[in-house]
Structure 1
Amino acid sequence: MKSLYLSSFIFLFSLYCFAETNVRKSHHTANGFKNPNPNFETKGLWNVLVWQFERFRLPNSLDPKDYPPFPVLENNGIDLKNNSSKLSVTWVGHATTLIQIDGVNILSDPIWSERCSPVSFIGPKRYTPPGIKIEDLPKIDIVILSHNHYDHTDLPTLKQLEEKFQPLVLTGLGNKKLLLGEGLKNVKEMDWWDETKANDLSITFTPTQHFSGRGILDRNETLWGSYLISGKKEKVYFGGDTGYYSHFREIGERFGSIDVAILPVGATEPRWMMQPVHVDPKETVQAFVDLKAKYLVPMHYMTFVLSDEPLDSPVPRTKEELKRSGISEGQFVPLKIGESRFF
């Protein structure tokens, strides 16, 4: 009888493990990865060409040179270096934020380069400087990379950070080879829902709806995602690049009580092109609700011209959506580039 119980247990446990593996790996394909949304609409090269042709008809008012100077605070890093306990978020620009939690310093998608491009002389150019110089940063313990697009995985910046700080670099599956080849030493790949322990923090790589690729032929060969950082008392979510889907609700249900959600609000237009992979302010607010977070820090705007909306429009649009949703504006923390908020 005992052997029968043991056999039944082994059989049921095997079925459980098989089911868990299949659920866990449902985003894997023979050649790479796919999004959680089964109806995800892929935009190909033809769509890009159509979009670029349509841009010729856009008003010249979208040229950043026609805007007043964007607010940038030059952060000398002193307060950040002296902070060993408070939760803080500093917006460096684009998707680059410095997160301080339990005395640990984490950089998200760091880019200090003048262009986000495979070459240094052409491609989207920076229109606002980084809010803090690399030499003024506190010691960087961890770097989190959401995906391998050039505006999120900037190799020149990563090599500078490696030389100065030798941080742990967390990234999605398939990216380690590229990073090791550039001289980074401490790189850890993660699958969705993988959890790693580092510096007494728990960091989970969570799903997003996006895509990857650094060339024409490597689309979706490496994994994209977001991060949930859990400290002793507080949790921070970094959303990376993403379209809207049910993954936000799932993350909120799994982790709950998120203190700060750092979410993208830019690169939204035209919607027929951007909606699958970039949330607009309305969807950002819905994601914030799904995540059950206390504070919303916006990012992914006012740095590079990657889309067709005015560079200064995301924050006013987000405020309108927050008001429409009945959410207190006090929960919205639109930092100036270089500004730090201590929570």
Structure 2
Amino acid sequence: MPKNRYYAGPVSDNFDGLRFFSPGQPLPDRGLREVWAWQRSGQRAKWPREVPVAPTVPPARSEAPRLTMVGHASVLIQVAGLNLLTDPVWSQRASPLSFAGPKRVTAPGIAFDALPEIDAVLLSHNHYDHLDLATLRRLHRAHAPLMVMPLGTDATVRRAIRGARVAVGDWHDRIALGEHVSVALTPANHWSSRGLGDRRMALWCGHWLDTPAGQIWFAGDTGYGDGAIFRDIRARHGTPDVALIPIGAYAPRWFMRNQHVGPDEAVQIFRDVEARQALGIHWGTFQLTDEPREEPVQLLAEALGEAGIAAERFRAFAPGDVHAEG
């Protein structure tokens, strides 16, 4: 019998005793034959080796929401006097290996040494392009932030970082970050794995921030499915002032559809949660899939036009970009 190496807990509506799943949604699992068929298709676009970035130096603190793009799914969120990082990756590769695997083509939009004091890190799942232990070790040494993550993800962090401050939750659990600031873990249609034989043994999630200055939602990695989880997020939490929604790593669609949305589905998520403003993440830093680097930006513009949504309400967030409210 396989054994879950990350989590031991009771059967629930998203855990069958061995693996996590998204109730009522298609499984994103792919077998070796499908992986091989994708890899030998020869459809991968050629990305540039490097794209110039003008790094930003953020302020020490901000009461009004201020978001700065680091790259991929790494965003500095400054709000209500707190400094938060989503899925921080400052490493050169999104990989368990330092010499192989997807290499970043954009430098971080904030130099690591230019970071303000970090109060908390919000982790969505344990894939290498989201949970980077080298970066988490650096953050722990420099800032000792609280690290918030879904069930089972903590096993990887605790083993690697002695003394890490860790808070763990299931979907819909709420964790306090400050006197008037909390984060709720939201569902996503995705999966997890750090190696072979551990698929879906740790949970994945998004993060909904409730603050006196507004609501910010980091969607994490997700497929669209039937859209039910996004409509439920809207019903449970209201409408976000700012939503961080992935727009890249979607091609080929036959392989990626159940795990990563494309720009058209990202726009549908934007509409489902009725966000006031959205920022497109998860594109242009690491080449994980087949689409050309700039295609997510182009397709996002087309999808917004077809939906009759003003382009400024949902823009692709590039390293060094800043979105400031108030």
TM-score, scaled relative to structure 1: 0.87
Paired position in structure 1 for 2:257: 275
| CA deviation after TM superposition for structure 1 residue 41, in Å | 4.7
Matched, 1:312 2:294: yes
Paired position in structure 1 for 2:228: 246
How far apart in 1 are the matches of 2:207 and 2:116?
21
Q: Which of 167, 175, 185 is residue 164 of structure 2 equivalent to? A: 185
Number of equivalences: 312
How far apart in 2 are the matches of 1:235 and 1:145?
18
Paired position in structure 1 for 2:24: 37
Pairing 1:157-306 to 2, within 5 Å after superposition: 157-183=135-161, 184-199=163-178, 200-244=180-224, 245-306=227-288
The alignment partner of 2:300 has SS state of helix
Conservation of the 8 A alpha-carbon contact between 1:226 and 1:240? yes
Conservation of the 8 A alpha-carbon contact between 2:64 and 2:213? no
Paired position in structure 2 for 1:49: 36
Structure 1 residue runs of 5 or longer lacking an equivalent are 1-21
How far apart in 1 are the matches of 2:97 and 2:28?
29
How far apart in 2 are the matches of 1:304 and 1:291?
27
The alignment partner of 1:333 has SS state of strand
Paired position in structure 1 for 2:48: 65
How far apart in 2 are the matches of 1:153 and 1:219?
15
Q: Which of 66, 91, 104 is residue 126 of structure 1 equivalent to? A: 104
How far apart in 1 are the matches of 2:282 and 2:138?
22
Change (3 A) 1:110 1:41: closer
* 1:57-90 deviation per Cα after TM superposition (whole angstroms, max 9, x unaligned): x37xx22238xx645221133xx22x43110111
Conservation of the 8 A alpha-carbon contact between 1:73 and 1:336? no
Conservation of the 8 A alpha-carbon contact between 2:65 and 2:213? no
Look up the equivalent residue of 2:13 and give its one-letter code.
Answer: S
The alignment partner of 1:249 has SS state of helix
Matched, 1:75 2:56: yes
Paired position in structure 2 for 1:102: 80
How far apart in 2 are the matches of 1:267 and 1:198?
31
Conservation of the 8 A alpha-carbon contact between 1:36 and 1:209? no
Paired position in structure 1 for 2:113: 135
Look up the equivalent residue of 2:170 and give its one-letter code.
Answer: D
Conservation of the 8 A alpha-carbon contact between 1:71 and 1:337? no
How far apart in 2 are the matches of 1:326 and 1:315?
17
Conservation of the 8 A alpha-carbon contact between 2:246 and 2:280? yes
Look up the equivalent residue of 2:26 and give its one-letter code.
Answer: N
* 1:162-199 deviation per Cα after TM superposition (whole angstroms, max 9, x unaligned): 00000000011012222112125201111000001111
Conservation of the 8 A alpha-carbon contact between 1:110 and 1:154? yes
| CA deviation after TM superposition for structure 1 residue 25, in Å | 2.5
Matched, 1:153 2:131: yes
* 1:196-245 deviation per Cα after TM superposition (whole angstroms, max 9, x unaligned): 11113120001000000100111110000101000014000001110003
Q: Which of 296, 306, 319 is residue 337 of structure 1 equivalent to? A: 319
How far apart in 1 are the matches of 2:318 and 2:200?
33
Q: What do you get for the CA RMSD once the two structures are aligned?
A: 1.6
TM-score, scaled relative to structure 2: 0.92
How far apart in 1 are the matches of 2:24 and 2:151?
19
Pairing 1:111-122 to 2, within 5 Å after superposition: 111-122=89-100
The alignment partner of 1:258 has SS state of coil
How far apart in 1 are the matches of 2:88 and 2:237?
25
Percent identical among aligned pairs is: 38
Look up the equivalent residue of 2:130 and give its one-letter code.
Answer: H
The alignment partner of 2:41 has SS state of helix
The alignment partner of 2:90 has SS state of coil
Conservation of the 8 A alpha-carbon contact between 1:201 and 1:230? yes
How far apart in 2 are the matches of 1:65 and 1:235?
36
Look up the equivalent residue of 1:209 and give its one-letter code.
Answer: N
Conservation of the 8 A alpha-carbon contact between 1:36 and 1:207? no
| CA deviation after TM superposition for structure 1 residue 288, in Å | 0.4
Larger Cα-atom Rg = 1
